[in-house]
Chain A
Amino acid sequence: MSHGSTHAMISVRDVTKSHGPVRVLDGVSLDVEAGTVTCIIGRSGSGKSTLLRCINHLDVPDAGHVLVDGRFLGYDLREDKLHEVSEAVLARRRADLGLVFQSFNLFSHLTVMENLIVAPRVVRGLGREEAMSAARVLLERVGMGDKADYRPGDISGGEQQRVAIARALAMKPKALLFDEPTSALDPLLVGEVLKVMRDLAAGGITMIVVTHEMEFARDVADQLVFLEDGRVVEKGPPADLLDNPKSHGLQRMLSRAS
């Protein structure tokens, strides 16, 4: 909508996270302007997935915080202190961020349509008809209008991922997070998912995409972030990073990828 005004839709501030003795994220800071696309690249184990999980507090950061549309996701600020919010409040705020998983994670006991309407009904309290008519529009948008009554096990991986994107959109999130959305797909099915994501980006949805698809990153991203050992090593316009990598790590990764 208002591309001119720049305000950060997602602000990540000094987020640190350890799994046991391993420090997965080590003071990551990141700003994502409203209506822009940020791609995150890095080798496996660099902390990309954990960063996404920390952004929507599926993993709670050990230190640092995340602001979504100017509001702390997991805390309330009172008297200069961040007070942890209740599980119910956190769950509601988390719905502002849609998350698309590498392994789709469609609810396997529900049909495609039920996958789309369960959260709007349970969390937002929508009626069945209202939720279904909104879901039909979204299924058309990802090209899955004719598969509403299928079960996840009966459609292809690419189709499952498109349904998963529609399911995330059904909560009308302020931003979408993608965790390697095409890594689990057959090469032939990658294109259909990337096309949906390009359309979404063109439509002005704020997105953070963890990906290995360098062409997609170059074409679609407004900002590219290179993560190594849980730290942001390089960040800037994608062409700058991809054509003139400054750090040794990014040089090595790009030379291997090409």
Chain B
Amino acid sequence: MAETPMSEDTAAPTAYRIIHRPRYGTLIAACIAGFLALSLIVSIGGNANFQWEAVGHYLFHPAILRGLAITLALTAVVLLIATLLGTAVALMRLSSSRILATIALVYVWIFRGVPALIQLIFWFNLGLVIREISVVLPGFGTLFTLNTNDVLSPYTAAVIALSLCEAAYMAEIVRAGILSVPVGQEDAARSLGMSRRQAFWRIVAPQALSFVIPPTGNAAISLLKLTSLVTYVAVDDLFYAAQSIYARTFETIPLLVVVAFWYLAVVTVMSIGQGFLEAHFGQFDRRSRRSWSLPLRQAGAGLRNLWRAQ
């Protein structure tokens, strides 16, 4: 008589070792990609035309570091103004007033629709269309008049242009964040006696923040790179500093490598910072619990993304 499967089961060890099937395809692809990447690194590293010595020479050159400082300052100032202005535009867009909502809609339409470079050059050249800026109080006459070109230094023009443009993107980010909070949250808050304003600031806004932070991190990284456009209106940022050196010395490629290095370095730091912010303001549910290791894991993910993007 054949043995029953039952007795076979009891005789066998309780824990079987699982042997995974080898993934030959993945292995071969990884070898090929690794080989190609290595050859690229070797050929670039060994290419004398890249002038690696010049890269080393200019990496911490005072003019480059000064340009970097201006790029960072410009990014910070523009991001701050754009966040405040963008939040205001988002609130207008969500307002029950049709007029406010339409103004916000048109604002986003224009400032998101026109290329940033064109907006930048427009503000830089505003003096051509509007020669004087006067503040007039009805009944008192003109209080004071300023020459447009005196007020609109290249730096001011750059801050205004980039802030207005970036605010249009921030408005959409903030609006999406507010709309991501379920309506029931506001209903519950108001049913407990909170006014619309209290319900918004106490209940909706803190939850919207966790939806707003990740895309804001992305926007900040885009903005950092976008600021390189100010070179065209003679603001002496990082790219401008590099350009003015290689215009003299013709060491174009090494200086572009220097600029790329600094942008990558700052973006890396920003990605890690974004990881910490997300961990702090993240969604308070099962999906991503607050924990000490989260920022590190997110930084790791950020670095991996960065690696993949190259």
Contacts and interface: CB of A to CB of B under 8 A. Distances in A.
A171 B190 CA distance: 12
B285 A108 contact: yes
B163 interface: no
Given A107-B185, A109-B206, A109-B207, A91 B190 contact: yes
Interface string A184-196: 0000000000000
Contact of A118 (B195, B196, B202, B286): B202
Interface string B156-200: 000000000000000000000000001011011111111110100
Interface of A: 56, 58, 87-88, 91-92, 94-95, 97-99, 101, 103, 105-110, 118-119, 122-124, 151-154, 164, 167-168, 171
Contacts of B193: 91-92, 94-95, 119, 123-124, 171
Contacts of B285: 108, 151-154
Contacts of B184: 101, 103, 105
Nearest to B192: A119
B71 interface: no
B94 interface: no
B286 A105 contact: no
B203 interface: yes
A158 B191 CA distance: 20
Interface string B197-240: 01000110011001000000000000000000000000000000
B91 to A, nearest CB: 16
Task: Report the interface size class on chain B.
Answer: 20 to 34
Contacts of A95: 192-193
A45 to B, nearest CB: 19
B284 interface: yes
Given A118-B202, A151-B285, A108 B185 contact: yes
Interface in B274-291: 283-286
Contacts, number: 79
Nearest to A99: B191
B208 to A, nearest CB: 10
Contacts of A87: 195-196
A183 B183 CA distance: 19
Given A58-B191, A105-B185, 4 more contacts: A91-B193, A123-B193, A151-B284, A168-B192
Contact of B203 (A107, A124, A171): A107
Contacts of B187: 58, 99, 101, 105
Nearest to B188: A105
A131 B255 CA distance: 63
A131 to B, nearest CB: 12
Nearest to A93: B193
Question: Considering residues B191, B193, B202, B286, which has the most beta carbons from chain A within 10 angstroms of its beta carbon?
Answer: B191
Question: Considering residues B193, B203, B207, B210, which has the most beta carbons from chain A within 10 angstroms of its beta carbon?
Answer: B193
Contacts of B189: 107, 119
29 contacts: A58-B190, A87-B196, A92-B193, A95-B192, A97-B191, A98-B191, A99-B187, A99-B188, A99-B191, A101-B188, A105-B182, A105-B185, A106-B188, A107-B185, A107-B189, A108-B207, A108-B284, A108-B285, A109-B207, A122-B194, A122-B198, A123-B192, A124-B193, A153-B285, A153-B286, A154-B285, A168-B191, A168-B192, A171-B193
B192 A109 contact: no
Contacts of B195: 87-88, 91
A26 B57 CA distance: 82
A92 B188 CA distance: 14
A124 B193 CA distance: 9
Contacts of A109: 206-207, 210, 284
Contact of A119 (B185, B194, B206, B286): B194
Contacts of B196: 87, 91
Contacts of A101: 184, 187-188
Which 6 pairs, one residue from A and one from B, show the smallest C-beta to C-beta distance? A95-B193, A153-B285, A119-B192, A105-B184, A99-B191, A105-B188
B119 to A, nearest CB: 37
Contacts of B188: 99, 101, 105-107, 164
A110 B283 CA distance: 11
A256 B281 CA distance: 48
A85 to B, nearest CB: 12
A171 B192 CA distance: 7
A155 to B, nearest CB: 11
A109 B285 CA distance: 8
A188 to B, nearest CB: 20
Question: Considering residues A88, A108, A167, which has the most beta carbons from chain B within 10 angstroms of its beta carbon?
Answer: A108
Contacts of A118: 192, 202-203
Contacts of A151: 284-285
Nearest to A56: B191
Contacts of A110: 284
Contacts of A154: 285-286
A186 to B, nearest CB: 17
A29 to B, nearest CB: 23
Nearest to A94: B193
Question: Considering residues A95, A107, A164, which has the most beta carbons from chain B within 10 angstroms of its beta carbon?
Answer: A107
Contacts of A124: 193
